[in-house]
Amino acid sequence: MLNMNDILETITMIQEENLDIRTITMGISLLDCADSDIGRSCEKTYDKICSYAEHLVSTGEKIEKKYGIPIVNKRISVTPIALIAGASGGDPVRYALTLDKAAKQTGVNFIGGFSALVHKGFSPGDRRLIASIPQALSETEFVCSSVNVGSTKSGINMDAVALMGNAVLETAECTKNRQCIGAAKLVVFCNAPEDNPFMAGAFHGPGEPDCALNVGVSGPGVVRAALAKMDKGSDLNEVANVIKKTAFKITRMGQLVGTEASEALGVPFGIIDLSLAPTPAVGDSVAHILEEIGLEQCGACGTTAALAMLNDAVKKGGLMASGNVGGLSGAFIPVTEDAGMIAAARSGALTIEKLEAMTAVCSVGLDMIIIPGDTPADTISAMIADEAAIGMINSKTTAVRVIPAIGLKEGEELDFGGLLGKGPVMKVNTKSPSGMIARGGRIPAPVQSLKN
Amino acid sequence: MKAVITVIGKDMVGILAKVSGTCADANANVLEVNQSVLQEYFAMVMLIDISAMNCSLDKLRENLDKNVDGMQIHVMHEDIFDSMHRI
Domain locations along chain A: 27-190, 215-443
Q: At B41, which helix (H) or strand (E)?
A: strand B41-49
In the predicted model, is pLDDT for residue A1 greater than 80?
no
Sorting pLDDT into bands at 50, 70 and 90, what band is A12? confident
Q: What is the pLDDT of residues A260-300, one digit of tens each?
A: 999 999 999 999 998 899 988 888 999 999 999 999 999 99
Q: What is the pLDDT of residues B38-83, one digit of tens each?
A: 778 888 999 999 999 999 998 999 999 999 888 889 999 999 988 8
**How distant is the Cα of A271 from the closest Cα of chain B, in angstroms?**
17
Q: Which residues of B touch A11 (CB under 8 A)?
A: 6, 74, 76
Give the CATH number, domain containing residue B42: 3.30.70.260
Please provide the average confidence, as pLDDT, over all residues in chain A: 94
This prediction's pTM: 0.91
Angstrom distances, CA of residue A38 to CA of A82, A86, A98, A137, B4 = 13, 10, 11, 19, 53
The SS3 of residue B32 is strand
Residues of A (352-411) whose Cβ lies below 8 Å from B: none
Contact A2 B4 (CB under 8 A): yes
Cβ-contact A400, A390 below 8 angstroms:
no
> Is A447 part of the contact surface with chain B (CB cutoff 8 Å)?
no
Q: Which of A67, A257, A260, A263 should one mutate to test binding to chain B, selecting the residue with the greatest count of B CBs within 10 A?
A: A67
| Cα separation, A270 vs A160, whole angstroms | 30
| Cα separation, B24 vs B42, whole angstroms | 21
In the predicted model, is pLDDT for residue A17 greater than 90?
no
- Per the structure, the count of domains in chain B is 1
Nearest CA to B27 out of B64, B45, B52, B8 is that of B52
Cβ-contact A390, A359 below 8 angstroms:
yes
In the 3-class helix/strand/coil scheme, how is chain A assigned residue by residue?
Answer: CCCHHHHHHHHHHHHCCCCEEEEEEEEECCHHHCCCCHHHHHHHHHHHHHHHCCCHHHHHHHHHHHHCCCEEEEEEEECCHHHHHHHHCCCCHHHHHHHHHHHHHHCCCEEEEEEEECCCCCCHHHHHHHHHHHHHHHHCCCEEEEEEEEECCCEEEHHHHHHHHHHHHHHHHHCHHHCCHHHHHEEEEECCCCCCCCCCCCCCCCCCCCEEEEEEEECHHHHHHHHHCCCCCCCHHHHHHHHHHHHHHHHHHHHHHHHHHHHHHCCCEEEEECEECCCCCCCCCHHHHHHHHCCCCCCCCCHHHHHHHHHHHHHHHHHHHCCCECCCCEECCEHHHCHHHHHHHHHCCCCHHHHHHHHCCCCCCEEEEEEECCCCHHHHHHHHHHHHHHHHHCCCCEEEEEEEECCCCCCCEEECCHHHCEEECCCCCCCCCHHHHHHCCEECCCHHHCCC
> Is B59 part of the contact surface with chain A (CB cutoff 8 Å)?
no
Residues of A (59-118) whose Cβ lies below 8 Å from B: 65-69
Query: Domain A27-190: which CATH class?
Result: alpha beta
Q: At B36, which helix (H) or strand (E)?
A: strand B29-38
Task: State which residue of chain A sits closest to B45, comparing Cα positions.
Answer: A4
Report whether CATH 3.20.70.20 matches the domain A215-443. Answer: yes
**How distant is the Cα of A18 from the closest Cα of chain B, in angstroms?**
16
Q: What is the pLDDT of residues A250-260, one digit of tens each?
A: 999 889 989 99
Find the domain containing B30 and state its range.
2-85
Q: Which of B60, B83, B86 should one mutate to test binding to chain A, selecting the residue with the greatest count of A CBs within 10 A?
A: B83
Q: Do domains A27-190 and A215-443 have the same CATH topology?
A: yes
Mean pLDDT of the A95-118 span:
97
